[in-house]
A and B are shown apart, each in its own frame.
Chain A
């Protein structure tokens, strides 16, 4: 099965403020990421703030052009941002936002906004469009009378459903969700996550799910990639990551996820400051906070390599022991 989405060597640098008398500070938000996504597969991307996961999500859709590297969709390289080819491709890939209120136009009813992608891509008109909108609203669990409402008249969970309905309007093959439930209350989070999972399964949509919340990711994703300071440090199936995390950072993250009914034991506390992409440590970016760091960790950047079938990690400890075993 050929990959739906392929990213190779993605790098994204942001230039800081330049003035006449100082150099521009450059921040590498994403520092070399490769990944592939099969049709119908769900990939979770997990990391703290500053890990570059949101930037990566935008690059996968082509919203943020990479400084280096390339993204391919269906074997074709991603067209240039805002070109007609890029715009046409939007019908196949959509974005779910963290803040649904900001992503909606406050002057238009939600029914109009859900139907807008159909207008833009000329997929339906008039009565057919109304039917399609009604159908989408039903799929996401919105009542028909809510179609005449404005975004600020709905609750947070309902607004996110509107966003989801709008995203599904053109029957896309890929959905990138950037922290879609972080701004919602606990019980609503579960509802929306379940909705997403249901829709993803029934429509066979491939999904990239970006979040800092491991519990949510576990619920919905087949595979998980863990990011730290712009690089993927570990990638494996969702079950494996939670059952047997290998990378020290992943281990710390997983140990902090509470399991209902059990006391939180064996929690690994990370020392040091949260990562700052403007001040990247030398060698392995995680080494200042790693409890088991080796001297070599401060010198060389570990590469993301396969450490087991369908499993990759970037850690000197893991790959060194591999080479030891190989030797």
Chain B
């Protein structure tokens, strides 16, 4: 078990390092941040001064190692625009994003999985067909369309809900709804097929032949086995949550890290973008690690294999 844990941890660290290097390379090589930030009309000495201050004249290697060193010290530099610390900028927006993503995750899990399981257990019924159709619609509608349509209906036409900003809790309803739909679709579909596959296995037939009640068969045999592939999907969902946050925060002018990313990217604010990339990558890597470990713990075959070593 230990060697499994260590290998996964090592790969996680390697991945984060790769992401950081990638960010560094892409951002530095793509153009001259100084002329972007200061505009094309800026006098050359202010451009030079800017570049000197930001260390943009040093060779790339020097910049890279300085960058790595400062990351290790959790110093991500300051935003080029307003001089505030990049990491602070990011961290102060994180709660806003969490306020959207965490409820969304719960809704997706709480609605999507039961819907899929129910559909699997009542195949060919109207409910099953309904779930399939809804889930297909859920993942084919892009989130930006969903968001705009919801705004059109609920904010513009009906006037029930606000269309932007973060002032009251009602402001969170439409963003969360927009983000949830896609994930519910995917989870429902996936849970359904995982459950169908499990229910078709010989050991389920055996359990029923043994005389176990339907409820016991589902709760004690089918669901635990179906949960294993479902958890893997949850790992992917974390990534799509973050991507979804980027789009949704733009539509609803929600001040979270998604919006910050768009703004910083348009302004070529290197420090903030790097910081954001790293924070996002670390979150994904940690989430996947948790999923891997949960997977290893849940699946007795993996546990046995680990124990044999």
Contacts and interface: CB of A to CB of B under 8 A. Distances in A.
A225 to B, nearest CB: 37
Interface centre among A20, A21, A22 (most CB of B within 10 A): A20
B3 interface: yes
A23 to B, nearest CB: 11
Interface residues of B, number: 4
Interface in B1-53: 2-3, 6
Q: How large is the interface on A (under 10, 10 to 19, 20 to 34, 35 or more residues)?
A: under 10
Contacts of A20: 3, 6
B215 interface: no
A142 to B, nearest CB: 40
B309 interface: yes
Interface string A20-36: 11100000000000000
Contacts of A19: 3, 309
Nearest to A22: B309
A22 to B, nearest CB: 5
Interface string B284-309: 00000000000000000000000001
Interface string B90-122: 000000000000000000000000000000000
Contacts of A22: 309
Contacts of B309: 19, 21-22
A22 B307 CA distance: 11
Contacts of B3: 19-21
Interface in A9-23: 19-22
B134 to A, nearest CB: 39
B266 to A, nearest CB: 47
A19 B309 CA distance: 7
A76 B41 CA distance: 79
Interface in A270-323: none
B305 to A, nearest CB: 9
B303 to A, nearest CB: 15
Contacts of A21: 2-3, 309
Nearest to B6: A20
Contacts of B2: 21
A20 B5 CA distance: 12
Nearest to B309: A19
Nearest to A20: B3
A66 to B, nearest CB: 30
A232 B79 CA distance: 77
A21 B309 CA distance: 7
A173 B147 CA distance: 74
A19 B6 CA distance: 12
A151 to B, nearest CB: 29
Interface centre among A19, A21, A22 (most CB of B within 10 A): A19
Interface in B250-309: 309
Interface string A177-204: 0000000000000000000000000000
A201 B111 CA distance: 73
A243 to B, nearest CB: 49
Contacts of B6: 20
B124 to A, nearest CB: 32
Nearest to B308: A22
A301 to B, nearest CB: 31
A169 B309 CA distance: 49
A138 to B, nearest CB: 47
A245 to B, nearest CB: 41
B268 to A, nearest CB: 45
8 contacts: A19-B3, A19-B309, A20-B3, A20-B6, A21-B2, A21-B3, A21-B309, A22-B309
Interface of B: 2-3, 6, 309
Given A21-B2, A21-B3, A22-B309, 5 more contacts: A19-B3, A19-B309, A20-B3, A20-B6, A21-B309
Interface of A: 19-22
**5 pairs of A and B residues whose beta carbons are closest in the complex:** A20-B3, A19-B309, A22-B309, A19-B3, A21-B3
